[in-house]
Chain A
Amino acid sequence: MFKNNLEALVLGALRDGPKHGYAIAKAIEKAGQGALRMGENQLYPTLHKLERDGFVAAEWHPQEGRPPRKVYALTEAGTEELARHRERWAAFASGVSSLLGAEVGHA
């Protein structure tokens, strides 16, 4: 339905600022309002891929009594990629809405 949508969701979750993995997962969960279900084990492979592709950059933040957190932030390329995802999604959603709207209108 929407290719590479998990990557798009992760990039979208980072739009309003850098986050660590857990916060990204929570952000997607919250934004999806229960409609978006993502396993935690899907998140890190996606984040690492985005990092390898240069769409996100990460840095370690030390914590008191806990392992350091790796915080991810959008890079410039990531911001552009997010924009492309947004355009594709807008076109897709517009097409589907138009079709569904026409069908609803005929019914």
Chain B
Amino acid sequence: MPDPIRSYLDELRSRLVRRVPEGELSTILDESEGHLLDLAEERGGPEAAIAKFGTPARYAARLLRARDVVLPVWRAAREPLAVVLVLEVLDILMALTMTYTNNGRLVAGLHLALTGAGSVAFFFACFRARRMLWVPALVFCLAQTFLFAGISGILESARLRSAAVWQFHALDARDREIGTIRSALVTGRELFKKPEASIELQALPTPLSGFATPRTLLHRVEAVSITGRALDLSWNGSPLLFQPSSTRVEVPLGPATYAEAQRRWNEDFDLVSQKLATLDKDNQQDREDLSRWRDSWFAAAVGRFPLAAAVWTRLLLAMLELNALAYLLYRIRRAIPPRRLA
């Protein structure tokens, strides 16, 4: 047997095997071989015979249609469904990553194009499978729901992690600030224990410059506290800057005022220390909360699940409608006799 005819028959066999009973397959192959050999003799070569016979794909399709053999569901639908899946994943990624784009028309256009292409692919899958694809559609939509929630959760988690990095920086800065204030407070107290009234402001440690009293430090501590609270309530994507208190009390360091300053230090020291301790505790709590929040991608994914389920339930309904339409068209097509010669 010439090689082109052998190749032709091999391909034909591969397209029919397991879909046509073995006995019928041998019959088809033997008949086809005999016919091809006759044609090759008549037309002067196997290539011309094959050209007259048509492609193996078309021949196999005709043979299967005549036997009313349809493709197994997953075999018929896998390529179009894979296309749908890829398109939908792109759509999800686009929807999640382009949230901040102001160009609504672009987003809507891309969404429409991807969804439209996905619908066409699914419609093709239904038509090719020649039956209702309820189960694949359901599985597909469930998979998409989890995929959407998963991707959405992962992206949300990445966003949270990115936010958390900055928030940890802010917390570190707040810790440092509290440490500095505490150190300045202690240093100031030690200084005011001395009886001399000759302490120069410039001689105080740098953090204490401009903060002559614990009360002033308290202002600053409160400012830190307020900023710290604001940190938990909102985050705007940039590191928080700790502004020193705008309230600066100028205390002249003469003998008359020195005693007054000394009294105020001693009066307020405990209050300010207590405030700092509370801030420390808050800071620690914030750090723990932030760690939990940063690591809660799964919670973020679960949080997105209702939205995903709503979206994909709608998609499931649309797919089933398309499925029904494709099946209806298939039935109509079957009802029309396909072979016409005259």
Contact = CB atoms under 8 A, between A and B. Distances in A.
Given A1-B340, A4-B339, A5-B342, A45 B62 contact: yes
A67 B27 CA distance: 10
Contact of A40 (B52, B67, B340): B52
Contact of A68 (B28, B30, B35, B59): B30
A70 B58 CA distance: 22
Interface in B283-334: none
A36 interface: yes
A4 B66 contact: no
B30 A70 contact: yes
A39 B31 CA distance: 15
A40 B39 contact: yes
B54 A40 contact: yes
A21 interface: yes
Interface string B53-68: 1100011001101110
B31 A70 contact: yes
B35 A22 contact: yes
A5 B339 contact: yes
B31 A46 contact: no
B339 A42 contact: yes
Contacts of A4: 337, 339
Nearest to A39: B54
A20 B178 CA distance: 101
B342 A44 contact: no
Contacts of B27: 70
Contacts of A63: 34
A3 B62 contact: no
A48 B16 CA distance: 15
B38 interface: yes
A21 B63 contact: no
A27 interface: no
B339 A22 contact: no
A38 B31 CA distance: 17
B53 A20 contact: no
B307 to A, nearest CB: 51
Contact of A41 (B24, B59, B337): B59
A106 interface: no
A78 to B, nearest CB: 17
A23 B38 CA distance: 10
Contacts of B59: 41
A41 B66 contact: no
Interface string B6-44: 000000000000000000100110111111011100000
A36 B24 CA distance: 28
Contacts of B65: 45
B341 interface: yes
Contacts of A46: 66, 339
A87 B204 CA distance: 122
Nearest to A2: B342
A48 B63 contact: yes
A86 interface: no
A40 B342 contact: no
Contacts of B31: 20-21, 44, 69-70
Nearest to A45: B66
Interface string B114-133: 00000000000000000000
A19 B51 CA distance: 23
Given A5-B339, A5-B340, A9-B341, A42 B62 contact: yes
25 contacts: A1-B340, A1-B342, A2-B342, A3-B337, A7-B339, A21-B34, A22-B34, A22-B35, A37-B341, A39-B54, A41-B53, A41-B58, A41-B59, A42-B339, A44-B28, A44-B31, A44-B35, A45-B62, A45-B66, A46-B66, A46-B339, A63-B34, A67-B30, A68-B30, A69-B34
Given A25-B35, A39-B53, 10 more contacts: A2-B340, A2-B341, A21-B31, A39-B52, A40-B53, A41-B53, A44-B28, A45-B65, A66-B37, A70-B31
Interface of B: 24, 27-28, 30-35, 37-39, 52-54, 58-59, 62-63, 65-67, 337, 339-342
Give the top 3 A-B pairs by smallest Cβ distance, nearest first.
A45-B66, A41-B59, A41-B54
